[in-house]
Chain A
Amino acid sequence: MAMMDLIGVPPALLFGQLLVGLINGSFYAMMSLGVAIIFGMLRIGNFVHGAQYMLGAFGAWYLMRLPELFPGLGLPSIGYWWALVIVPLVVAVIGALMERIFIRRVYDLDHAYGLLLTVGLAMAIEGAFNVYYGAAGQMYGVPDTLKGGINLGFMFLPIYRAWVIAVAIVVCFGTWYVVERTKLGSYLRAATENPDLVRAFGINVPRLLMLTYAFGVGLAGFAGVMAAPIYQVSPQMGQGIIITIFAVVVIGGMGSIFGAIVSGLMLGVIEGLTKVFYPQASSTVIFIIMALVLIFRPAGLFGKETTSHSVADVSSGRSGSFLENGRLWLAIFAIGGGLLPFVIYPVMGMKILVLALFALAYNLIFGYVGLLAFGHAAFYGASSYVTAHAAAAWGLPTELCILLGVSVATAIGVLFGWLAIRRQGLYFAMITLALAQIIYFYAVQAPWTHGEDGIQSVPRGTLFGLIDLSNTLNMYYVTLVVFLVGFAFVYRIIHSPFGQTLKSIRENEPRAISLGYSTDRFKLIAFTLSAMLSGVAGGLKAIIFQLASLADVFFMTSADVLLMTLIGGVGTLLGPVVGAAVLVTLQRELATLGAWVVVVQGAIFVLCVLFLRKGIVGTLEEFLSNRAERKAQKGVKTTEAVAKTEAAQ
């Protein structure tokens, strides 16, 4: 104890936080275990895991409140112990149905689609609960048998907390034992390596996959019930934890069950200790550790190095099609954009243009390099904050403010890109997502960002001392010009030798490497350019709407830009623009729905992944090219026929 006092930390605080850390770590371990198993077997980054955890907590709460929920039926209130049995089973059945209906359909596709699908499902489920329960948390009491605590002398240990830790450890190592040491586990491990061969031995692998998913999800439900008496039962409880869980899984080593368990517990404790010694960093410490692990052990602490080159099967535009003709569309956008403010509100027009620019930037990395980035909110939001601060607090000229914002976004882009480029596919998505959280939590805490309020009333100023931007039409036309320049810039990149190299990397990275390209450098440059352009969009946004807020750096912004690109058509020139227009219009039309918007947006995500993978522009392109092909074939046939008749004569 003397040593503790020496470093100026009261032991009660230290042990208290250590305990909190262990509790959080127990939940991290149970949750990341499920995510790791699902990833290992199904190759799905189960983003909906957080929502399933929330379902578990709500399940327990519903069971307890049965008499109030259905007053006429005379149902009993079902308590904690039965909930602990019933709820995980129910959540597992829900998971099995989700696998049957949705997840099964994307097994054969690029990893990106599995992530997108589960993001959509999470949005829909969490959004629906948000409609009914809002941000308020529901209380769920500690069961009578586990009330009270033990005085350990140096601290007070509540029994329920000790129970959570013990159960988590038993559940985690029990699962580990089943997977590593039993016959069933050997089926699972074998199916992870070579599912086709395991099927050819007579094992029903599709059913095994469904059961695995159901088990992982049931585990989330179980954790949810365990969590109900500790944390508040709220629609947001899963959203808060899922990104941390992804980081834990990356740190442990993707697909490593042991790694997930150990890192979960360890990181919870480290987080707790950070609260004691350096509270400012406590919400970001896990993400910073993830960054460090990626530098020194890219495969994670317990992961084996995997070199899976998943070829992104994202659609792409057909060169030569008029839909890919940059000059034509630049002219159309210039004229159409010039007339737009006379058709729709200029503010809405600006919103479309800014988001279109953001989506163009995003498409550069997702569509043309095939890397599923999932943290672009970091660049957009960082630039938005810096621009707003420079204008509001320092009173700098508008153009300089945006330049500053873009510089910061670019710098962050270089750093994040350098860290994330080491991994591909789903890893890349999880890493960029987790890195972006560092920026988010920084924005939550830093004094100059003004927390929940954000930076408001940002002056628009005058551009180059000439154009008064407080005039809406002036602002609109400046935005249009920036958009057009950005569009032309992206078009130039795609059609430069650099762009061609990116394309060949996307199509066949090993071959590009064997041709002597240092593909990582190309990817990093593309990533940085994408971050820079996102910064332009973010800075412009802060000036237009005179606001920089947490929404700009929140992961939903990353999801939005992805959704726009997906709706429009990944890897097409026009897709991002079309996607932005569709999404902004949709959000406007749906504004009357209030909180349901998120649910609808989640549903659109799911529908796009299942039925409209090529997006609007990609589908149109396919239709046009099929028609062109049919015509060409007809042409060949007629010439053949002519040749024959000529020969006959």
Chain B
Amino acid sequence: MTEISKVVLDIADLHAWYGESKALHGMNFEIREGELVTLLGRNGAGKTTALRCIMGLVRKKTGAITYRGDNLAARAPEIIARRGIAYCPEERGIFSSLSVAENLELPPVIAKGGMTVDEILELFPNLKARWQSPGTKLSGGEQQMLAIGRILRTGAKLLIFDEPTEGLAPVIVKQIAVVLEKLKARGFTILLVEQNFRFAAKLADRHFVVDHGKVVERFSRDELAGNEAKIQAYLGV
């Protein structure tokens, strides 16, 4: 990214709580139009919490979440989604009482420009054969494909993925990397939470390292080379 495009999502001084216990302690980061950025960090660092805050799923929070000039912090999840943000949760969130088809068609279309079902099936041909089976009868990899495919139809411009490679075989991880690259090429802005640094390094324009509920380091793609050891230290236990 040579020219600086405009900031799409800006997180400023975000604090969040689960009941009495605090999970985010003043988090700051931003995503620009068309970028793919990652949040890296060890287990329990607060990555998922940050995403859940953006989606309005964590109520108790302070700070500003600005999406295209609009503060989302006080909005309900369904409103946030309709502003053009699509969310692919940790552990995939496939509905077991819905068929593959129903799962894929569940999120309502909120704007023009989303992918068609045919285009999605082209990205994930495996799903075609399983079209009518219950969502949770799929393998882990297939479920992840379904979870990714599910949010591409809606016309949302900002896609949020929470650890899409977790627990998957290397072949499938590679396939998902290809898909993410295609999505980026298509103009989607992507926020990716990852612990698999090698996977993230190849894809992302910028990286934010999260630790103890805040962003402690930020690197652009070019700065990675010198800082690998540092990042690994943050990710290691």
Where the two chains meet, the residues of A that have a C-beta atom closer than 8 Å to any C-beta of B are: 183, 186-187, 189-190, 192-194, 196-206
B107 CB to closest chain A CB (Å) equals 4
Using Cβ atoms and an 8 Å threshold, which residues of chain A touch B82?
Answer: 202
Can you give 28 contacting A-B residue pairs, CB < 8 Å?
A: A183-B105, A186-B105, A186-B106, A187-B106, A189-B98, A190-B106, A194-B95, A196-B57, A197-B87, A199-B56, A199-B57, A199-B76, A199-B77, A200-B57, A200-B77, A200-B80, A200-B89, A201-B81, A201-B106, A201-B107, A201-B154, A202-B78, A202-B82, A202-B108, A202-B110, A203-B78, A204-B78, A205-B78
Q: Which residue of A187, A194, A202, A203 is within 8 Å of B93 (Cβ)? A: A194
**Across-interface contacts of B95 in A (CB, < 8 A):** 189-190, 193-194
Cα A174 to Cα B107 in complex, Å, equals 24
Across the two chains, which residue of chain A brings its CB closest to B96? A193
Cβ–Cβ < 8 Å partners of A200 in chain B: 55-57, 77-78, 80-81, 87, 89
In chain B, residues 90-137, which have Cβ atoms closer than 8 Å to a Cβ of chain A? 93, 95-98, 102, 105-108, 110
- Tell me, rounded to whole Å, the shortest Cβ–Cβ distance linking A39 to chain B: 15
Check if B154 sits within 8 Å of A202, measured CB to CB.
yes
Q: Cβ of B96: which chain A residues have Cβ within 8 Å of it?
A: 193
The residues of B with any CB-CB pair to A shorter than 8 Å are 55-57, 76-78, 80-82, 86-87, 89, 93, 95-98, 102, 105-108, 110, 151, 154
Given A186-B102, A189-B98, A202-B81: A197 touches B108 (CB 8 Å cut-off): no
Q: Which of B56, B76, B89, B95: most chain A CB closer than 10 A?
A: B95
Residues of chain A with a CB closer than 8 A to B102's CB:
186
Q: Min CB distance, B151 to chain A, in Å?
A: 8
Q: With A190-B95, A202-B154 given, is the CB distance from A196 to B105 under 8 Å?
A: no
Q: Looking at A186, A193, A194, A202, which has the most chain B CB atoms within 10 Å of its CB?
A: A202
Closest residue on chain B to residue A190 by CB atoms: B95
In the complex, residue of chain B having the shortest beta-carbon distance to the beta carbon of A189: B97
Alpha-carbon separation in the docked complex, A166 to B181 (Å): 57
**Bound complex: CA A214 to CA B140 (Å):** 38
> CA of A206 to CA of B77 in the docked complex: distance in angstroms?
11
A192-B87 in contact given A200-B57, A202-B81 (Cβ < 8 Å): no
Residues from chain A with Cβ under 8 Å of B89 in the complex:
197, 200
Smallest CB–CB gap between B5 and chain A, Å? Answer: 26
User: Which 10 pairs from chain A and chain B are nearest by CB?
Assistant: A202-B81, A201-B107, A199-B77, A189-B97, A186-B102, A190-B95, A200-B55, A200-B77, A197-B93, A202-B82
Contact partner of A192 (CB less than 8 A), chosen from B57, B76, B97, B154, is B97
Q: Name the residue of chain B whose CB is nearest to the CB of A188.
A: B97
CA–CA, A183 to B107, complex, Å?
11
Least CB distance, B106 to chain A, in whole angstroms: 6
Chain B contacts of A201 at CB under 8 A?
Answer: 81, 86-87, 106-108, 151, 154
